[in-house]
Structure 1
């Protein structure tokens, strides 16, 4: 017998990561998402100005790069300038990013839970398929932004009185976005479950009397994680944009509670005189959403076995 050289085959997770790394846009997006997350989480500890504190003496200050170039009023105590009430723009960007990302992640998780539950139940149980999918089509046909506006107007005061102005609006926005953005996930998961439940190992588990709960948790859910992860990235981007739209329309958080959309709303009236106040939160929203979309593209390519390894 001759000695054989043992060659370790890379694990599936390693193959997925190697494929993901080859997607340049996904790696750039991942780097930016990590940067913006650290910026909004650790930034307020390094730049500890109160974002709601007014400083009338230093109101309407310009960013340092505009002040240095054109000789307008600026100062290192407000490197990105201050608004018409003297509140620091950099501090508001940091704290506003915390709220916008928190709303995005929480609403995305809620929509994934609902969409995955509906998709699995509709795909596995034939008697539930028709009612659940018709309900999904019904919700999908509704105009989502007007529906969210109606929900904000109907339940805002009650939730603010019950949980406080900040937590009440947070719960309302997260719940509203979550229950109006699960439909695409449900349809994708249902399609995959319909295919997977006819495979040999699922039929074998069913033939030996395995309960439906065990089949779903052990055989179906692990095999639909790929589309769920891709849907998560798209859901995060959608949630950030929706929260920004609600805040921009003045139906989001209170006026003294900054979010990126609220910063845009407060800056529109003075956009011609101070365009940088619109540019910074607009860039934060646009680049974060773009980064998340690129990550979704990279995950889709890495998790697709037809593409992986090419």
Structure 2
């Protein structure tokens, strides 16, 4: 009987459970394995630090003119040389990082918010609401983005603020169509159907269920869109429709130095390198975020 009692006693076993890892921690772990993404992140952080501490880094003022030093080659006094007004190019590039990053971040922030809201509304409600919003996006995308930006700035007037508004407007359809397609698939999930069945309001469903589950493409598209916005801001500046003198915007610096390409090539090379490195950094970081956050990119 004692042996039978021992055999009938519950046998306790220690089951080792796998550690539950949140999707964001898993994405960060995957992101850290991408060497190019880390390089891009380092470049982006470097330019952000330069923009924040520009007054401490720049050895000269952005508009300090010494006509006797005009078009000097790079030297110990002027690391990247001087322009046609004798201004230090390194100092102007450092301060120009503030303008380019400011336009890139805030233009994309505005376009992502407006585009995401319109995309969510179009995808969730459908019917005539979706038709109106989607056809508006199609019309905007029918124009080359830079031409549409030029038209908007021509109407509003050339300035850095109006260039930011134009860049934000032309990027709205990209976010709107992306989020609309995401919402069309998310709203068919069972938890959305259950939320509707218990009488949850549409506003709460959109803000608490659909929007959080649509953040991944917004983050990826946003990081890549900043690079595009910086190029578009430089293009508007090059055409004289963006930042106005004496603001040291990189595109405007290229336009001012185009007549000295042979005589003083450094006046164009270094602002161009600043644009290239910044855009490269955001593109590499955006590609890394896409690989880390998109399930279709994982094995």
TM-score under structure 2 length normalisation: 0.91
What do residues 226-271 of structure 1 show as CA deviations (whole Å, max 9, x unaligned)? 1101110121011100010011112222221110101111111001
Range 202-211 or range 108-117, more displaced: 108-117
Deviation at 1:43, TM superposition (A): 3.4
Deviation at 1:28, TM superposition (A): 0.7
DSSP 3-state at the match of 1:234: helix
Contact 2:58 2:94 in 1 (8 A): no
Aligned to 1:277: 267
Query: d(CA) in 2 for partners of 1:284 and 1:277?
Result: 12
Aligned to 1:138: 139
Aligned residues: 287
Query: d(CA) in 1 for partners of 2:124 and 2:93?
Result: 45
Deviation at 1:171, TM superposition (A): 2.1
Contact 2:162 2:242 in 1 (8 A): no
In the TM superposition, what are the counterparts of 1:118-267 in structure 2 within 5 Å? 118-127=118-127, 128-156=129-157, 169-267=159-257
Range 91-100 or range 5-14, more displaced: 5-14
Contact 1:61 1:83 in 2 (8 A): yes
Larger radius of gyration: 2
Deviation at 1:117, TM superposition (A): 0.9
**1:116 maps onto 2:116 in alignment:** yes
TM-score under structure 1 length normalisation: 0.88
Contact 2:84 2:257 in 1 (8 A): no
Query: d(CA) in 1 for partners of 2:152 and 2:16?
Result: 65
**Unaligned segments of structure 2, at least 5 residues:** 1-11
In the TM superposition, what are the counterparts of 1:5-44 in structure 2 within 5 Å? 5=16, 7-44=18-55
Query: d(CA) in 1 for partners of 2:186 and 2:274?
Result: 40
Instruction: Give the superposed CA RMSD.
Output: 1.5
- Pair 1:116–1:39, CA change in 2 (3 A): same
Aligned to 1:77: 77
DSSP 3-state at the match of 1:87: coil
Contact 2:71 2:86 in 1 (8 A): yes
Aligned to 2:9: none
Aligned to 2:6: none
Contact 1:111 1:235 in 2 (8 A): no
Range 205-214 or range 24-33, more displaced: 24-33
In the TM superposition, what are the counterparts of 1:39-78 in structure 2 within 5 Å? 39-64=50-75, 76-78=76-78
